């Protein structure tokens, strides 16, 4: 009963956060980019505006948290979808074919997994700097490249789960019967293997989503994520840390985005854990 209550609470929190971030442009809150030098570092007041205080430039923290949720959740969803689109076919094909194909594809995955994530992102960012004009001409900027990079970082664990499921499913009686009847290749994958992988992949999606959001926050905290004026929770935490000093108490600038990020990750982990049961 307690576990079900926690799961329902997690779903409600995630749904409320998603709805608020989605309708943030139409909410009666301040512009997240508007600066007010006369209202810098106002502490949270909870009952009157600004409810969650302001940052070192006088920008409303409530607005920035909601707009940061838009970026963080979107990056998490997009990166997870990219990871699934790349990892599921790769792992399913390796597991279905087996033998030399399986060994070759998984050794390639091992080699790619040995590359540190931050180094990989820095490499892609350097490509953007080198070809910024050409990429901007086709509407492909830093945010788009960052989204693709995040997705490509997480397809390897998805591929391993898909491979393990394909190896298990291919030994089941109905799959062996279909193969005996002459079904091979894509028709067999589409009709028998991929549909029966969905429960495991659904759990993998729910567990990958918080990892992608956390990685985005980490990279944004380091300054490798989205560029201003766009804002994410990791960038807000980084700005809050930079604004803290012994003379002015402004701990809420780092605690608020960090707390929202932690609650979101906990809620996603709770939902993912409940999906496994």
For residues 204-228, give the mean pLDDT.
Answer: 81
Q: In the 8-state DSSP scheme, what is residue 37?
A: G
Q: What is the 3-state secondary structure (H, E, C) of 128-196?
A: HHHCHHHHHHCCCCHHHHHHHHHHHHCHHHHHHHHHHHHHHHCCCHHHHHHHHCCCCHHHHHHHHHHHH
Mean residue pLDDT across the chain = 79
- Using an 8 Å Cβ cutoff, are 267 and 14 in contact? yes
Which CA distances in Å does 92 have to 98, 170, 225, 251?
Answer: 10, 10, 31, 48
Q: What is the pLDDT of residue 264?
A: 92
How do residues 121-159 score in pLDDT, each as one tens digit? 777 667 666 666 665 555 556 667 777 777 777 888 888
- The pTM of the full predicted model, rounded to 2 decimals, is 0.83
- The domain in which residue 158 lies consists of 2-276
Q: What is the CATH number of the domain that holds 201?
A: 1.10.3720.10
Task: Provide the number of structural domains found in the chain.
Answer: 1
């Amino acid at each position: 009963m307690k576990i079900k209550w926690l799961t329902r609470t997690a779903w409600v929190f995630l749904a409320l956060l998603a709805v608020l971030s989605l309708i943030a442009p139409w909410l009666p809150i301040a512009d997240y980019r508007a600066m007010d030098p006369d209202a810098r570092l106002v502490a949270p007041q909870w009952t009157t505006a600004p409810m969650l205080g302001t940052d070192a430039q006088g920008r409303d923290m409530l607005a920035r948290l909601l707009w940061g949720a838009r970026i963080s959740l979107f990056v998490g969803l997009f990166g997870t979808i990219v990871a699934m689109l790349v990892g599921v076919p790769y792992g399913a094909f390796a597991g279905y074919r087996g033998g030399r194909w399986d060994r070759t594809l998984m050794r390639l995955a091992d080699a790619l997994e040995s590359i540190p994530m931050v180094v990989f992102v820095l490499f892609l960012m350097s490509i953007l700097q080198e070809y910024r004009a050409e990429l901007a001409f086709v509407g492909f900027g830093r945010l788009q490249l960052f989204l693709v990079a995040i997705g490509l970082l997480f397809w390897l664990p998805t591929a391993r789960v898909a491979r393990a499921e394909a190896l298990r499913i291919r030994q089941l009686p109905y799959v062996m019967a279909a193969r005996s009847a002459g079904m091979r290749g894509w028709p067999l994958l589409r009709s028998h293997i991929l549909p029966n992988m969905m429960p495991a992949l659904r759990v993998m999606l729910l567990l990958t989503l918080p990892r992608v959001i956390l990685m985005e926050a980490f990279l944004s905290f380091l300054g490798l994520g989205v560029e201003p004026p766009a804002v994410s929770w990791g960038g807000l935490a980084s700005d809050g840390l930079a604004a803290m000093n012994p003379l002015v108490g402004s701990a809420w600038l780092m605690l608020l985005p960090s707390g929202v990020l932690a609650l979101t990750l906990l809620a996603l982990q709770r939902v993912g854990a409940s999906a496994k049961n």
